[in-house]
Copies of this chain bind each other. A is one copy, B any other.
Amino acid sequence: MSSLGIFGVTGLPEITAGMDLAEMIHASAAEQGDPLADGDIVIVTSKIVSKAEGCTVELADITPSEFAERWSAKWEKDPRVTEVVLRESKRVIRQIGPVLITETHHGFCCANSGVDQSSSGAAGRILTLPVDPDATCRAHRARFAELGVDVAVIMSDTFGRPWREGQTDIAIGIAGMNPLFSYIGQTDPHGHEFHVQEICTADELAAAGELVKGNTSRVPVAVIRGFDWERDDTASMAPVLRDSERDLFR
């Protein structure tokens, strides 16, 4: 595993609810001269999945709670957006100043439950995260298989993190490959157990994919070729989501 290539898939149309994303990605990759191949890892930005799955909320339909109203007024935020952020969360991790960091129903810890006001394509409409990203990735992987290619699928989103400025892309859904690579029980050439115990390969692949996607350009899909992964059709993001009992920062 000492060489790999990453390219973006361009030419997708504006995504609307009900579209067959996997079919469109497969076709666009072929059209640009980079047809998908067995062993590829296809990294799909969550926002196009949200659009394809109709994960949009019309703000006109939202009645904010008193809690959402009061906090939003204090920080000059739209209380209807705050209400959606709270509905998308199972708990608030930090609510300090204008910052609202939550744990989503899926178990992702991030700002504003991953709710995205900038990409919905219309004023007064916001995007929420896909309901079951692993299930979407499995469906895409199955669809790619129907189209003739055996690929892993990762869904990515752009999250902040404690301690460090700047956001990075991480994995929120996966199919076909395990998100973690374990060194537990292995020893290095000096006979010591590894300092590193487990690498979150899925997050590193998502981060690598962002390097060709960018956020201004319309490149919502990246393909990583040449990475050696083991097929595992039971894979999900579950082992990456640390139990809150084991976590020191919730």
Contact = CB atoms under 8 A, between A and B. Distances in A.
A203 B164 contact: yes
Interface residues of A, number: 75
A74 interface: no
Contacts of A99: 248
Contacts of A186: 216
A219 to B, nearest CB: 6
- Count identical subunits in the complex: 2
A211 B211 contact: no
Nearest to A193: B118
A3 B5 contact: yes
Contact of A215 (B101, B196, B240): B196
B211 A167 contact: no
A73 interface: no
Interface in A1-54: 1-8, 10
A215 B183 contact: yes
A4 B2 contact: no
Contacts of A109: 162-163
A2 B198 CA distance: 30
B4 A5 contact: yes
Contact of A208 (B195, B197, B208, B215): B208
B164 A200 contact: yes
A168 B199 contact: yes
28 contacts: A1-B8, A1-B212, A2-B217, A3-B5, A4-B5, A6-B6, A94-B248, A101-B248, A117-B192, A118-B194, A119-B192, A121-B190, A158-B196, A162-B248, A162-B249, A163-B249, A165-B198, A165-B200, A166-B179, A166-B180, A166-B199, A166-B200, A166-B203, A167-B197, A167-B200, A168-B199, A168-B204, A249-B249
Given A162-B249, A164-B203, A189-B218, 17 more contacts: A6-B208, A101-B248, A118-B192, A158-B199, A163-B241, A163-B242, A163-B247, A164-B242, A165-B200, A165-B242, A166-B198, A167-B196, A167-B199, A188-B216, A205-B211, A207-B208, A249-B249
